[in-house]
Amino acid sequence: MEDTGSAARDIVICSSAHCVAVDAAHRFVAIAASAIRLRGRLTVALAGGKTPTLLYALLASTFPDAIDWGNVMIFFGDERCVPPDHEFSNYGAARHALIDPLGLSEANVNRIHGEDPDPDSAAERYAKSLAALPQQNGVPSFDLILLGMGPDGHCASLFPGKAALSETDRWAVSTPPGMQPEVTRVTLTMPVINAASNVIFTVTGADKAGTVTRVFDRASDDDLPSRSVRPSQGSLTWVLDRAAAAGI
Ligand code: 6PG
């Protein structure tokens, strides 16, 4: 692994997708141990999509005793507007890979109600659940937000050109999809992402290399959503495999 970082952002390049998951798991455990020691609990927003499922499985299989999971409060960065048992559900994927294997109490899981026929209502309900978090400048501040990045540079469900990307008042909003799966989403907004104490991106695969290069090109004025992730007081770490990092 190479570790080339800057004051505002650390970039870790791993040899494989498995190595990315191992590195991210160790970072998750370290952040969790610190948050639980200092504040009695960890508040974490999980990423959706496929990349983090290996990380979640590792946390459940290899780190079940590394932290007191009973003090981990699970939230989500975004959700597809489908029922929780639907194949597209980010909650469903996390439940299968992490929540059930660790036997986490549903009381510690704050999911987005994707089954709500009114996505705006689901977003408002989720935003209300964030009021329980400590705040930074009036915005809920997670201890940790995990993010993936789509080939279009989106993160959470903040897609290029969609209104949700420029939302600055609400903490969670609904949004039309910007890519597959073509279902309405509910997402955290950028102010909440940038109020986090720690943000970790995990990005793997050659199909992401071009977008990763554009995200890290300081001369570029691309309006890629992932470029806007700059925690104002928190840490930002990109954990990439060599394929995704080929252009940087
Ligand atoms: C979602 C995710 C999304 C995901 C990226 C990358 O609900 O789709 O939250 O932001 O992280 O699309 O997805 P993959 O990891 O599957 O490439």
* pLDDT at residue 147 greater than cutoff 70: yes
Q: Can you give the pLDDT at residue 39?
A: 96
CA 160, 161, 167 angle in degrees (round to 5)?
Answer: 95
Nearest to 168 by CA among 194, 198, 190: 190
What confidence score (pLDDT) does residue 9 get? 86
DSSP assignment of 118-144: -HHHHHHHHHHHGGGS-EETTEE--SE
Higher pLDDT, 6 or 164: 164
pTM of the full predicted structure? 0.96
Mean pLDDT of the chain: 95
Beta bridge partners of 5: 10
Output the residue whose Cα is nearest ligand 1's atom 7: 48
Ligand 1 contacts CB of residue 202 (under 6 A): no
Write down the residue that tokens 């309006």 correspond to.
223
- pLDDT of 241 higher than 80: yes
Q: Are strands 135-136 and 139-140 parallel, antiparallel or unpaired?
A: antiparallel
The pLDDT value given to residue 179:
87
The pLDDT value recorded for residue 8 is: 65
| pLDDT band for position 4 (cuts 50, 70, 90) | very low
Q: Residue 2 — very low, low, confident or very high, per pLDDT cuts 50/70/90? A: very low
- Please check the confidence at residue 236 and state whether its pLDDT lies above 50: yes
Q: Atom 9 in ligand 1: which residue has the minimum CA distance?
A: 48
Helix (H, G, I), strand (E, B) or coil at 112: coil
End-to-end Cα, the chain, rounded Å: 14
Mean local confidence (pLDDT), 199-212:
98
Confirm or reject: Cβ of 49 under 6 Å from ligand 1.
yes
Give me the pLDDT at residue 7, please. 41
CA nearest neighbour of 200 among 142, 140, 147:
147
CA of 77 to the centre of ligand 1 (A): 10
Cβ(150) to ligand 1 under 6 A? Answer: yes
Tens of pLDDT, residues 127-139: 999 999 999 999 9
Q: At residue 118, does pLDDT exceed 60? A: yes
